[in-house]
A and B are shown apart, each in its own frame.
Chain A
Amino acid sequence: MSGWKQWAVDCVAALFGHPSDTALLKYLVGAAGRRARSVERHLACCPRCRRKLESFRLTLAQVERIWAEPETQMPGTLMIDWRQIEGRLAAPPADPPFELQKRLLGNAASDPRYADSRFEVLRVLLGGRALLMNAPAHGEKPLI
């Protein structure tokens, strides 16, 4: 979205009281510029937008983790192609293997101490039969 269109969308959103999704995202990563203060004021009195910001924060953390690109690793300094980010946010679950690992293994899924043994833990505790169906074909990444 070009600059003036974004500005118009933000103006309309401001008229209706809530900042746009893009404005919230920019605020989240510290790229909102002069709008940051008004967004902050709005967030102080709007639980709906605070919830939305929190969900964006979680999604963005996921995006950062999965697409470990240099510009998405340091919030606040990143250069954002908004269409790209919005496309990613709208995409289906970013990393099904990780999500499933998290669902099955809990904390151990994201604990680096168990990084080497995650598949072994699943294979043993879940049974080879459950994981047999999950065998990767032609060098693909296994689901879990």
Chain B
Amino acid sequence: MNFFGPFRSGGAIPAGIPEQAAAAGLIASCIVFEIVAMVAILLWLWNGDPRLVDFWFRQVGGPLLVGYAVIEWAAAARVLQWFQPGEPMRRPWLLLTAAGATHMTSLLFRHWLGQPLASNPLLLWPEGRDWIPLCAEFGRRLGGTLYLALLAAGLGFALRVHGRLKLLSPPGRKGWAVLVTAAALYAYTLISLVYWLQHPRPNRNALWWMGWLTDPLLAALLVLALLLVRSTEPLSGGLLARPWRAYQMALLLTCAGSFFAGLADSGVVSSSWLWPGWLAWHPASALFALAPVWQLEACRVSVRAFGEAQAR
């Protein structure tokens, strides 16, 4: 695979993946996964046997997440080819493509190389098993920091373009309420950081600092998601609104999943009550992949319509 190929511009636009088929496949696979996951969780809650849940989320769910991330990156890279250097939307899609590549890498490490799966090549190597926890941690940190930062930067630049096109109206009463809540959460995170800095801990290393970045980045992404809602309102019902709506829904699900993960880490709530959080990650990943696929579809619709008009 030519990794840098999709980043080049100016060449012929390749015959694209069938966007509608890709979108239908993403949605169908996600629905099937969620239904079976729900059944497995209900069985676990009923008889207390976690084997089916473990098998489904680890052996099937992990590779499925990697597959979604591959589609996300490939589709975003193809979208990038529709924008020439200097065009306003090139920078956002460049950052979103880089975010897709980072997401793919992080999930590869976290859910494939970092798991004792039958398909993990590290298991073929006698000392490879020792690398598995390291791979999982690397994937977790990459997905929790660099991916979120690139995503926030890409969506931030896209929002700026929407603002310049006068599509972004000022928030209403509800919008302000949610923005103030997000700001309060952000302030709480800063205050808690200052509190922890005053109490020396032995394990405050680079990984701890990187892990701390995740919450502020998620708060920033939550604010971006709310602003995206407003910027796509004038375009609602059209094909150009769908990619940004998908990003917005994916961000909300990611924030919800992270909230449940935070609850799990804190130990406040019993793990048997945290299963709704497990169901958030696959729809979020599928929506992250659907966003560039839908943008590609919009581009191709315009070109196809032009071809039909020429033929008439």
Contacts and interface: CB of A to CB of B under 8 A. Distances in A.
A73 to B, nearest CB: 25
Interface stretch (A17-25, A78-86, A113-121): A113-121
Interface of A: 92, 96, 100, 102-109, 111, 113-114, 117, 120-122, 124-131, 133-134, 143-144
Contact of A107 (B13, B83, B238, B312): B238
B165 interface: yes
Given A108-B235, A120-B165, A96 B302 contact: no
B240 A129 contact: no
A91 B57 CA distance: 54
Contact of B234 (A111, A133, A134, A143): A111
B236 A106 contact: yes
A127 B306 contact: no
Given A100-B305, A124-B89, A130-B299, A106 B237 contact: yes
Contacts of B167: 108, 121
B88 to A, nearest CB: 5
Given A114-B166, A126-B240, 20 more contacts: A100-B301, A100-B302, A106-B236, A107-B236, A108-B234, A113-B234, A121-B165, A122-B240, A124-B89, A124-B165, A125-B240, A127-B83, A127-B84, A128-B84, A129-B13, A130-B299, A130-B303, A134-B302, A143-B306, A144-B305
Interface residues of B, number: 31
Of the candidates A111, A126, A133, A134, the one having the most CB atoms from chain B within 10 angstroms of its own CB is A126
Nearest to B87: A128
A92, A107, A117: residue with the most chain B Cβ atoms closer than 10 Å: A107
Interface of B: 13, 81-84, 87-89, 161, 165-167, 233-241, 298-299, 301-303, 305-306, 308-309, 312
Nearest to B302: A130
Nearest to B164: A124
Contacts of A103: 238-239, 301
B240 A106 contact: yes
Contact of B238 (A105, A113, A133): A105
Main SS class of interface, B: loop
B231 to A, nearest CB: 11
A92 B241 CA distance: 27
A108 B166 CA distance: 11
Contact of B301 (A104, A107, A111, A117): A104
A106 B241 contact: yes
B84 A105 contact: no
B306 A133 contact: yes
A104 B239 contact: yes
A107 B84 contact: no
Contacts of A130: 82, 299, 302-303
B72 to A, nearest CB: 19
A124 B240 contact: no
A116 B312 CA distance: 28
Contacts of A108: 167, 234-235, 238
Contacts of A131: 302
